[in-house]
Structure formats: structure tokens, C-alpha cells
Structure 1
Amino acid sequence: MTATSTGTIASFHLIRYADPGAMRYTAFDRPVLARTPGLVFRRLLGSGRGASMSLGADLRRWALLAVWRSERDLDAFLARSPVAARWRHQALERWQVRLAPLASRGSWGGIDPFGPLGAGRSGDADGGPVAVLTRASIRPSRLVAFYRSVPAVDALLREQDGCLASVGVGEWPLARQATFSLWRDAAAVRDFAYRDGAHRRVIGRTRDEGWYSEELFARFAPYGSEGTWDGTDPLGPLGPLGRADPLGPAAGPPP
């Protein structure tokens, strides 16, 4: 799926390595990303085994969520960064998507990295695919209740009509978790969020019982998807790729 965007954009990258020891790359990548021109917000994220936030970790699969000052900065990162070069050389599988922010509420580390970007654009994705990011810092006293609710939400996501793909990711084991999901359209997102009784009950409990010390919900118009996620591009059926591999020739030997 391809398109173009102007102004600030976000991107999500899902990388699978052969070696469970790939978690060591998070230490190497943080200072590199901190020096990347045009990268205004980034989070390196571990991956769960479920469709949503979960206890099980997949030590071979890692994610990067990034916000860029411009599309040109993202292109430069993919072409020249040693992080992207390693993805090309060492990843068994990689998938990425460019994201135009539509709407956001809440905060991540005390800021909302998307909110001002989506002003006035909340209806842009009504006729096309939608990406959703939900992220929460879970209060220690609510961890047991939270993780008891996860299997039911996981099952709902897997069975939900209109959900193209979903993965649980997180910064810290257990307490700082997120879900990144892709949907056929905005109507499918609304149907999942508000019409299913089990999901609505979980949402109600998070509010009534104060499960989260911080949370963020963001919605995007995805475009420019590349690569595969569990063997396929979940956005592929919605349009041809039609782009050269943005990772391009390696900028040198991988670190």
C-alpha cells in the first residue's frame, strides 16, 4: 500500500530476528536513534505473543514507533542509518508502515507526541484503513486484574471482523504495555470499541478502578506499508506496494 504525506509523520517497524539474543540491540540502538536527524519521538518496544498486551514475550521480535519531522527524515534514516542496515542484513522478517496522525488523546511519558498533528483531520480515514495505538502504564496494584482481562480481549481481537492485524508491544515487562492494530476502516474500530459487551466492560473497569497511571489512544491513516508481518502484508490487499525497498542498499556493514 503506497501514498505520500507532507509534514510530520509517524512510522511503525516490526522486526523479527533469528536469535532471541536480539534484545541486546536495544542497548546499541538507543544512542543511535537519539542522534538521528528529524526523529522527534521514539520508543523501542518488545513484543508479546498475543494480539494485545500480554504476559508472554517474543524475544525475537521487536518494534520501533517513531515520529518524524518530515517524510524526508524517515527516508534518510531508512537509507543511511546502521539500525536500518542491520534490519536489512539480519532480520528474518520485517514490516513497516508510514502513519499520518488523525487523532490522539492522553500522554506517553508526560507528552502527547501526536495530538497537535491530527487537529482537524479526524474524518480523513473513514473510507480507508486505520491504525490504532493504545498504550498504558498499569498501576502495580492493578496488574493482576489487568492481566486477567487480557485473554478475553486477545480472543476478541483475533475474531473481530475488520481487524487486519494486531500485536502487543511494551517498554517494560508487565507495567508499560501497548497494542498496535490495523483495521479495515474506522467503522470496524468503532464496532470493536463500543458494540462488544465484553470489551466495553473491560474499558469500564479501567476507568472505575483506576487501572492506569497514564494512557494514550491514537489513530492514524496508514500508508506506504512494506515487507511482511507473519508472512504477509496485512495492508497488501488494500493496494499495490509499488515502491522500491526503502531500506535500500546497506550503508555499510551492520553493527
Structure 2
Amino acid sequence: MASFHLIRYTGLDAMRHMAFDRPVLRGTGGLRFWRLLGTGRGRSMSLSADLRRWALFAVWDGERALDRFLERSPVAARWRDEAVESWHVRLVPLSSRGGWGGRDPLAGAAPGPSAPPHAPPHGPVAVLTRASIRPWRLAAFYRSIPDVDRLLRRQDGCVASIGVGEWPLARQATFSLWDDEQAIGRFAYRAAAHRDVIGRVRREDWYSEELFARFSPFGSEGSWDGRDPLRPGRA
């Protein structure tokens, strides 16, 4: 199983935490794969940065490993003690294609015992898209982002979305939540701005590596911009 954590701090000490968290995460038992991620100010990959908000994407041996981390890790303790806002969600992998650092981080990942029994279309879907952008394609990539960002802001069925990245400019990702699979399909295949960008990505070979993964989200806690987007009423 996987998890996604979105943490907002009051000041720029968050950058220091990012550096100190890495050795702790490397030594965390049951943590199969992880990436600490900066966040942007838009709904998709962007040049802007929010230096007070950071994210963690993680893949675990199982829910017990995640539970131990949340209960005992000094990283999770600081989230509780110092963050002004945090949001956490557990993720059952539904599909994944591509790679991250030369491998599929979700290969062999299994749902935990408290995972929901029904996969979409019976419920919401989380999507992680990640890309390593070729240096000579950066200008074209970032010129295309504003149209997609505006589309996401008004897209029916997109519950929440945020641009994240592990390396400035060239290694970018988007984490998004959707009402259901049909909402994702409307955005991916019917929205002209997104469809045009995807066509250019393929024709012009923008990415040296990419990952596209879908998840069934469950067990969310905390708030994201003042609300839990997966709770009934979403307020």
C-alpha cells in the first residue's frame, strides 16, 4: 500500500526539516519507497513554489509499517507538534505504468486489511503523475502548464489537486483527487488543453521518464486548505 502526506509549516524552517528528514526516512522499517516533495502554488506542475508546504509520497510493506511510522517516527511527531496543517491519506494501488528512478515503486504493493472492499467506479480515485523532463524541452513544457492549470481549477469532478516536485524545474509531479474514474476520463480525453499537451509530449519526446498511477484513497485524516476533500460534504 501507499500513502500521501501534505504538511504546511508557519515558516521557512520547512526546508531544514526536509534535509534532516531524509536520513530518518532511509532508516524507517517497512518503508519500501519514498520521495520528499516540494509543492507549487498551482493545481498542477508549475514554476511557482510554496516553501512552507511539503509532501511525502511513500510505499509501505503494509499498513502496520505505516501505523508504526505515524506513531513512533520523529518525522510524524514533528508533523503533529509543529505543522499548522497536515493531511494524510492511505492509497490502494489500482494501476501503474512507467517508472520512478528506474523502477516501478508500486510493483507488488498490496492493499492493507482496512482498505475498502470496492474499487472505483464505486468511489473516489487518486492520481499521481510524475515526469523527468528533458532539459531541452523545459521551455515548451512550462509554456503548456498555465492552460492545464486553469482547466484543473474548473474541471467538474476534480476534488483537489496540487503540483509537487523532487527537483526544481525538471522533476515534477501532480497529485489529484477525483470523484470517480469517469471524471478522470472526461479530463484526460475530452479536455482539449490537456489532450493537446499529451499529444505534444508523445510527438516531441518531452520526458526521459514518467509514471502514471491510480489509487483508491481511504482513511484520510486532517485538512488540505482547511478541509478534508474526501469527507462527506468536503467542508
TM-score (norm 2): 0.94
Contact kept in structure 2, 1:48 and 1:169, CA below 8 Å: yes
> Which whole-Å CA distance do the structure 1 matches of 2:207 and 2:67 have between them?
36
Q: Displacement, 1:118? A: 7.1
Which residue pairs with 1:126 in the alignment? 121
Q: Displacement, 1:125? A: 1.5
Number of residue pairs aligned between Structure 1 and Structure 2:
228
Return closer, same or farther for 1:227/1:46 CA change in 2, 3 Å cut-off: same
Which residue pairs with 1:250 in the alignment? none
Percent of aligned positions that are identical:
70
> Which whole-Å CA distance do the structure 1 matches of 2:201 and 2:108 have between them?
26
Residue in structure 2 matching 1:106, options 68, 75, 98:
98
Q: Displacement, 1:28? A: 0.5
In the TM superposition, structure 1's runs of 4+ consecutive aligned residues that sit over 4 Å from their partners are none
> Which whole-Å CA distance do the structure 2 matches of 1:131 and 1:118 have between them?
16
**Structure 2: which 5+ runs fail to align?**
112-117
Which residue pairs with 1:245 in the alignment? none
> Which whole-Å CA distance do the structure 1 matches of 2:163 and 2:81 have between them?
25
**Aligned pairs for 1:7-22 within 5 A:** 9-22=1-14
SS at match of 1:128: coil
Residue in structure 2 matching 1:171, options 166, 171, 176:
166
TM-score (norm 1): 0.87
> Which whole-Å CA distance do the structure 2 matches of 1:124 and 1:55 have between them?
34
> Please, what is the CA RMSD of the aligned residues?
1.4
**Structure 1: which 5+ runs fail to align?**
1-8, 240-255
CA offsets per residue over residues 172-229 of structure 1, 9 Å max, x none? 0000000000000011011100111121010000000010000000000000000000
Return closer, same or farther for 1:214/1:159 CA change in 2, 3 Å cut-off: same
1:233 equivalent to 2:224? Answer: no
